[in-house]
Amino acid sequence: MTTLLEEVRPEVVLANWTNAIKRSALQEMLAAASRPGVISFALGLPAPELFPVNEFEQAVSSVLGSDPRALQYQPPFTPLKSQIVELMRRRGVYCREEQVFLTAGAQQGMNLLVRLLLEPGGQLLMEEMIYPGFQQLVEPFAPDLLLVSTDPETGMNVDEVEALLKSGRRPSFIYAITDGHNPLSVSLSRRKREKLVALASTYGVPIIEDDAYGFLSYDGPLDPPLRAMDEDWVFYVGSFSKILAPALRVGWIIVPEKLMRPLSVIKEASDIDTATFSQRTVSAYLAAGHLPNHLSRLHKEYRLRRETMHAALLEHFPAGSHWQKPKSGVFMWVELPGGLDAGELLQHAINKEQVAFVPGGAFRASTHWSQRQSLRLNFSHCAPPQIEEGVTRLARAIADVTDHAKCYDQMVPIN
Ligand SMILES: Cc1ncc(COP(=O)(O)O)c(C=O)c1O
């Protein structure tokens, strides 16, 4: 497999860290997954038919009609900050406008925090199986990764975090996805939330809390995020991408006030300005009072999609497969029985059955952990009939690949 560096040499001289960027077979497969006719469970996309298009249309025209500065370079839009303060109360977080920093989505929020906290080659603590977007953003720092495992039912192994800190390790920060974990879909148990926050403040190690999915909940209210328990050591990252629309590129972070200034300098260097127009549109949408109904609608529809996928997996997947029903987020994490290789299954699933997913191995932060037999399936993007059809196709692909593997096992070598 060639690296990016090898592909563009000698014309352009790239920074050394780009050596870590590989053109992966997975990316090529996923590009194939966007072909027409393919049912894709691969990406964490929201349901497009649930975007509140009409309400956005009203919000856009009210913003454009009322103030041409909406299209100008502008400071962050303060009314949106106070609306976010109100929104955070729904998650049990009490913060002030002065602690809210507006970003272009959760990804930028994490990017700014990482640039603020991490030295090149510095240490950070995170789970072995984790959101690749986060792995990508820390790659340029060539960090020393302190990895801990994740329990599929209760989340990050906080005892391992404690052991690392007790042994004298002092990472620049801990990265945690509290609810709707990507890719494992687990929500951190309350006991673990409390312990993790206590560890952060005892050892003086901040937590970057990625709550991109925290406003999606399918079985009643979720436990409060880590930020509800500590305002000094938890740097909270939120986003409108999963609850309104990712194309808006509006998110926020909640940090101690003293970090606002350095963060605004880093943000200015990265994209000069906040997304003025989007921020004002989101603010107008929130001011019109649409969000609570929209959230109820999303919860109801995504719960239905989760149930549909669960029922289809029960009906069609081989005995011995395991998965949890997530309380939040947009993925099911499925472990298959036997010696099936999810990478091989993906090729067969796309080429023969026109259905796509992401093999579990794609989320590994270390080469030690295999996860060959696990799949991440998204349930938010496809409508229920497509989910049933997609799972049926996938089960057929599993049966084919299993038969194929059995044939090989039974072949007798000719002497
Ligand atoms: C765990 C997690 N964090 C952050 C993001 C990025 O969100 P945003 O679109 O707000 O940048 C995603 C996107 O899928 C995600 O899964």
Residues with CB under 6 A from ligand 1: 44, 105-107, 131, 133, 177, 182, 210, 212, 239, 241, 246, 251
Q: How far is the CA of 237 from the centre of ligand 1 (A)?
A: 10
Tens of pLDDT, residue by residue over 4-16, are 666 666 678 888 8
How far apart (Å, rounded) are the C-alpha atoms in residues 165 and 207? 13
pLDDT band at residue 29 using 50, 70 and 90 as cut-offs? low
Name the helix (H) or strand (E) containing 388: helix 384-410
Tens of pLDDT, residue by residue over 157-200, are 999 999 999 999 999 999 999 999 999 999 999 999 999 999 99
Tens of pLDDT, residue by residue over 268-289, are 998 987 789 999 999 999 999 9
Identify how many contiguous H helices and E strands the chain contains and give both numbers: 13, 14
How far apart (Å, rounded) are the C-alpha atoms in residues 267 and 255? 14
Positions of E strands within 198-246 = 207-210, 234-239
Say if residues 52 and 243 touch (Cβ distance below 8 Å): no
Tens of pLDDT, residue by residue over 72-86, are 999 999 999 999 999
Sign of the Cα torsion 265, 268, 273, 279 reads negative
Tens of pLDDT, residue by residue over 130-148, are 999 999 999 999 999 999 9
Q: How far is the CA of 281 from the centre of ligand 1 (A)?
A: 20
Q: How far is the CA of 106 from the centre of ligand 1 (A)?
A: 6
Q: What pLDDT shows up at residue 412?
A: 41
* DSSP secondary structure string for all residues of 184-201: T-----HHHHHHHHHHHH
pLDDT at 209 over 70: yes
pLDDT band at residue 411 using 50, 70 and 90 as cut-offs? very low
How far apart (Å, rounded) are the C-alpha atoms in residues 174 and 363? 18
Between helix 158-166 and helix 190-203 the angle, nearest 10°, is 20
Q: What pLDDT shows up at residue 85?
A: 98
User: What mean pLDDT comes out for the span 312-333?
Assistant: 96
Q: How far is the CA of 319 from the centre of ligand 1 (A)?
A: 33
How far apart (Å, rounded) are the C-alpha atoms in residues 191 and 404? 45
Chain centroid to CA 109: 13
Residue of the nearest CA to atom 1 in ligand 1?
182
Residue 146 CB: number of other CB atoms within 10 A? Answer: 18
Q: What pLDDT shows up at residue 68?
A: 87
pLDDT band at residue 415 using 50, 70 and 90 as cut-offs? very low
Say if residues 292 and 89 touch (Cβ distance below 8 Å): no
Global pTM exceeds 0.85: yes
